[in-house]
Structure 1
């Protein structure tokens, strides 16, 4: 079985169409070359009918892409009323979010609720309405970090080009019109109000494809164990409901030839009921197409691209299509005479083929997920889904069945597993060439599993590619965009040595219980994905410059996800009780710094110039580090202020630097003009949050830097900043 030699014209047409799709949407020269080579094969095989079809698809994709660009460039139009798509309503503490529609345009909406009464109203709202508000209209945030989440791209793929930040809800007018979204909302609210947690969360997740923010902790656990996809409604659920429908129709006397028509109507209903989940759409397409095997897969792919052109721009769409394609391929072949061995082999092969795309999208892979998916997949699909459906239907008749103890036991088990396997193996993000190489070697390895010599060659090739993915060749220094905070990564070639200076974090203030929202930390969205993309599963050293939350607030989150060999702190930081409590909880080796301490990295050392001046763990107690790396001098100052800067100069009167990480986010209390003149940097890096409440960086500081003719790079303007040592010189790269 060699995948590339199977000659199925229809699947080859789907393959060419997908290549054309990515040529248009990614504008990548490598994909373009593969597409042209594949076109040549089609011409050689005399598949002439493909060419007019590809032309039609190409025009369609081009127009869709142009439509995206046009919508993003449209001028903002002021309005003060919006109609929510009621099934997207989410209440998270005092935060309200939903998707709405005005003048045939879709918007993502956020609001802060003003009272517990208002919170209760929206939690239980199961009626269409129109909301009058006062607020701001703006574009979603662009990508902030290398390989980071691009909110703008994510929403545009769903035909959303603006978001609304509501300052005040002025009125809510209830309407009595009915639509299918309302039916989904009523089902969700019914489950949430008639069943206890966590049972209600599993019910809304498995029946309606909806997981609320109150399930966020368990979402993290299921994600770390690699089985969050169990909540992604797909083929198993579709097969279950379609089979139930078929049996009911036959019981009530519907003739067999009419059943496909009813299945089609049910498919539309179920797709809407589950919020147009991509995996459900794919499964329903496959279920309603009469063709079999790879022909079914090909028609499904082409149909999805016509009906939902943004399908393959979404990670979920890519994964569900890859899984379905691989299953279709594996069904064509029988590998062993034992049913158990056959099932195990196909499970292994499926995960091996999916592995390259999983690490391309998520940078890590939990091997345990293969076993957990088999075990918990059966529990979810064969036991929980029928039980929850029956329980939900019984509740509509007034009969209440409480199965919450089963879900409490399940979650207890999952938490224990998470404690044992909290660190997920990290592989890094492959380049496009690396991704294609991994797909090729994974496919050949599946094909060669019964051929010993070829098997070892393919396995070695796969591991070799993974080694280069996980161990970048070029040394880099990256100022990660963590918003209003600091986090700087020093990464030696081959990941020989890694040093992180600060973790970023956000200040949290005490709030009434009803206002407390379930948030992922800032590090979960910025720092940790970047470290994983770079193949970093272990940090050699973490330097925490001082105790402000925007520098150390995400320390514990980082420690739970990435292994840390030791933490460097100043003596003054150990006088701050809350910080000491964090260190104790982390249970990591601690090194108390002193001036002159050195960490070997690059071609030199990162040296501690100051262990702090106030002994209080505050701004002027920041640990200051310096390094002369490949003939460029770097100075990292934490939140050092002007008094500390002058003390630093007094201790090191001949200090000169090429690259300065500006102290205290460019505040007017830092960057003393005399200090700047004396150290004479060429490049100033400022880590600062966009539109932050402190007004950083201060205009006086910017004027000081500009007067000294220093180039300024700010994370609020250009996103993350990376300095790469390549061809014997440092090169600067920014996200935007």
Structure 2
């Protein structure tokens, strides 16, 4: 029976998911699949479904139970280092380690340059004696944010150790991890930096700290997937080995055994990522069918691969890489059923991939499919074979300098060409999971019914309506973004209405020696930008900087670089201190100098209550006030008690339902007099988790408790946001993380 295994194994996948996370949509899909299987009236099919579901369910249950509750303190213990995961950036060291209790991410701050050099050499310790503090990865702290906890679970990582001491215990052992590290180290030693970075990514799947810097053009063009080890790379490795075995005239069974062993070796050598696992399993299943003359359809082979993958890594669907790899491989299979025309498949693929891409990244590149179509032959026949030859030859003979320069020149040329030819991706926003399923189903239905033009146009109109419902959501928001120790508030009106961003957050810079400095992405790449793009915006109408502290305006350049900011508002008199910063802006917005009495916005009016003139200091922060959906908000920046006294003196009738607490809850702000006059229902403290300043201080919390104000804290609850619908009398204050005292 053709396509016999797909329904039982999809059912098993849903059963396994329910052992980890109970979701009403999973239950609904499971019921639909079970009804479909029962209607087929096949006892054998029901038995296969039960068997697959049993094994996947048990495996997932055991896997989930293996994650232990972590103690707060790590007593001194010995752990094994996975050498290929060691990364040194300035004074920051991180790697994966494991012992009998699980696998852990280890973070350590290097104390001296000599200590840094120890971790940059070829011979690394196998085991270390470690002490420090345990913690678990963070769940998403902002809407549309990265869920590190879920990703770690999918990879089998138990938790994180913030190491305080590291002592080397043994050097010189042998492991696959050390072999992979040796190959990475060899490439860095033999090749120029840029070429080494590309070779490590393409040949063994290791992306170092320089890779992201070199591949900006590929990121903007949506072509970064070309550097992820997948079917193309595995076909080169195992396909080449298979041809060699055929030339050696080995029988099919012997070839299969050798290919299986080589495939397992490749999985570990290439880092064991989801795409490598999927590609190796798919190749070996196809070879198994050829060896034993099994007539399995492509869909059945895909389903068996999924079953083996779920038994190996039960939560593979809970990592971005796992979802993308499995979905894209299914799409390629689906397109091969529709047409044998490779060009047509390449044209249709980006449209089929569209729903999952916007679900994961909130945007979609129209040119990605075209560039992939143009560059795939170059990668398949020139770059990948050339890189493999260079890599393996580097162990045998010294490579001529002109050859290295030639390949490095090819990569530089591609980088520049992509940067010149890139069209910015369309920011659409992140759909709900239900909408994602609906969009995938609709697009497949459109392609399936493509000969019935009237039906197709009706489906296209329906699909466009669903897509537009993402950025044109009816939800209004006032969001206190969790940016750590800093402030950033985003306001959007319903139906893709007017937008405001008040402050940008930022990281305080401390003086460091040259060896301590590290390359790191701007903090707003992890919090503000994913959130705003997830809401479907690629521009900001009004960006307001309350004052000139780094934790309030430190991300201004990165925000203006990645979003189109139409208007920038600064306190009158504060602009002199940041002129050099304004001159660095690539896309400079229209700049407005505002003071007490000014109003910002057209549909939503933000009133500037103070100051008359600003010098950019805390006590001269722009204080803004607005009302929306039945609630009034007062945002005070870092206003101190002296400024608060002036404020209530100037506005003796001023009251606010929601107060943004000044200066992160320090003892310089939030006087009892201010709270007595405002009588806020709720107070939001934007503050960093475990910050060095001890914010918010007990005095501030006591004052808020005495005034019977409900306190929301971004360090404990992540993003705090007020959500409302049009024509509603009021909305609701919500938090990303439920926090119990």
TM-score by length of 2: 0.93
The C-alpha deviation readout for 1:157-204, integer Å capped at 9, x for no partner, is 2222221112233x3233333122221111111001111110000111
* Residue 572 of structure 2: aligned partner: 571
How far does residue 637 in structure 1 lie from its aligned partner after superposition? 1.0
Q: For 2:248 and 2:570, how far apart are their aligned partners in 1?
A: 73
Aligned to 1:37: 32
Q: Please report how far the alpha carbon of residue 132 of structure 1 lies from its aligned counterpart in structure 2 after TM superposition.
A: 2.5
Q: What residue is the counterpart of 2:508 in the other structure?
A: 507
Residue 190 (structure 2) aligns with: 194
Aligned to 1:530: 531
Equivalent in 145, 149, 157 of residue 148 of structure 1:
145
- Render the CA deviation track for 1:701-721: whole Å, top value 9, x for unaligned: 111111111110000111101
**How far apart are residue 467 of structure 1 and its match?**
0.6
Does residue 1:161 correspond to 2:161, yes or no? no
1:119 paired residue among 116, 119, 129: 116
- Quote how far apart the aligned CAs of 1:323 are: 1.2
- Which runs of no fewer than 5 residues in structure 2 stay unpaired? 290-295
Equivalent residue number for residue 339 of structure 1: none
The change in CA–CA distance for 1:525 and 1:580 in structure 2 (over 3 A counts) is: closer
CA shift at 1:489, angstroms?
0.8
- What is the DSSP-based 3-state SS (H/G/I as helix, E as strand, rest coil) of the residue aligned with 1:88? strand
Residue 212 of structure 1, CA deviation? 0.6
Q: Is the 8 A contact 1:391 1:401 kept in 2?
A: no
Does residue 215 of structure 1 match 2:211?
yes
Question: Structure 1 635/50 Cα, relative in aligned 2: closer, same or farther at 3 Å?
Answer: farther
Q: 1:47 to 1:431 in 2, by over 3 A?
A: farther
Aligned to 2:8: 13
Change (3 A) 1:116 1:405: farther
Residues 254-265 of structure 1: matches in 2 within 5 Å? 254-265=250-261
What secondary structure does 1:504 align onto? coil
Q: Is the 8 A contact 1:620 1:643 kept in 2?
A: yes
Query: Alpha-carbon deviations, 1:103-128, whole Å to 9, x = none?
Result: 24211101122233332331223455
- TM-score normalized by structure 1? 0.93
The residue aligned with 2:312 is 307
1:241-640 correspondence to structure 2 within 5 Å: 241-289=237-285, 290=289, 291-334=296-339, 342-402=341-401, 403-408=404-409, 410-411=411-412, 413-415=414-416, 417-418=418-419, 421=422, 423-577=424-578, 580-581=581-582, 584-600=585-601, 604-611=604-611, 615-640=614-639
Q: CA deviation at 1:79?
A: 2.6
Q: Distance in 2 between matches of 1:218 and 1:42?
A: 50
Q: Give the 3 Å change call, closer, same or farther, for CA 324–577 of structure 1 in structure 2.
A: closer
Q: Distance in 1 between matches of 2:174 and 2:111?
A: 29
Displacement, 1:238?
0.7
Number of equivalent positions: 722
Match of 2:293 in 1: none
Is contact 1:108-1:164 (8 Å) kept? yes
Is 1:703 equivalent to 2:702 in the alignment? yes
Give CA deviations for 1:536-592 in whole Å, capped at 9, x if unaligned: 111111111111111111111112222211111112321204664466454221111
Relative to structure 2, which stretch is displaced further, 344-353 or 6-15?
6-15
Partners of 2:92 and 2:406 lie apart in 1 by 30
Q: After the TM superposition, which residues 721-736 of structure 1 pair with which residues of structure 2 at under 5 Å, given as runs?
A: 721-726=720-725, 727-736=728-737
Deviations 1:456-507 (A, max 9, x none): 2222222111110112212111111111111111110012111111111111
Q: Is the 8 A contact 2:358 2:430 kept in 1?
A: yes
Following superposition, the deviation at residue 375 of structure 1 comes to 2.5
Q: Secondary structure at the match of 1:729?
A: coil
Distance 1:80 1:222 in 2: 43
- Per mean C-alpha deviation after superposition, the further-off stretch among 9-18 and 287-296 is 9-18
220-229 or 74-83, which deviates more: 74-83
Alpha-carbon distance between aligned partners in 2 of 1:558 and 1:404, rounded to the nearest angstrom: 36
| 1:326-372 alpha-carbon deviations (Å, 9 max, x no partner) | 1112222337xxxxxx3232112222222111111111111111112
Equivalent position SS for 2:207: coil
Flag the 1:435–1:116 CA change in 2: closer, same or farther, 3 A.
same
Q: What is the CA-CA distance between 1:239 and the residue it aligns to?
A: 0.7
Q: Partner of 2:649 in structure 1?
A: 650
* Structure 1 gaps, min length 5: 1-5, 336-341
Alignment of 1:684-703 (within 5 A): 684-703=683-702
Displacement after TM superposition at 1:255 (Å)? 4.0
Structure 1 residue 616: Cα displacement: 1.6
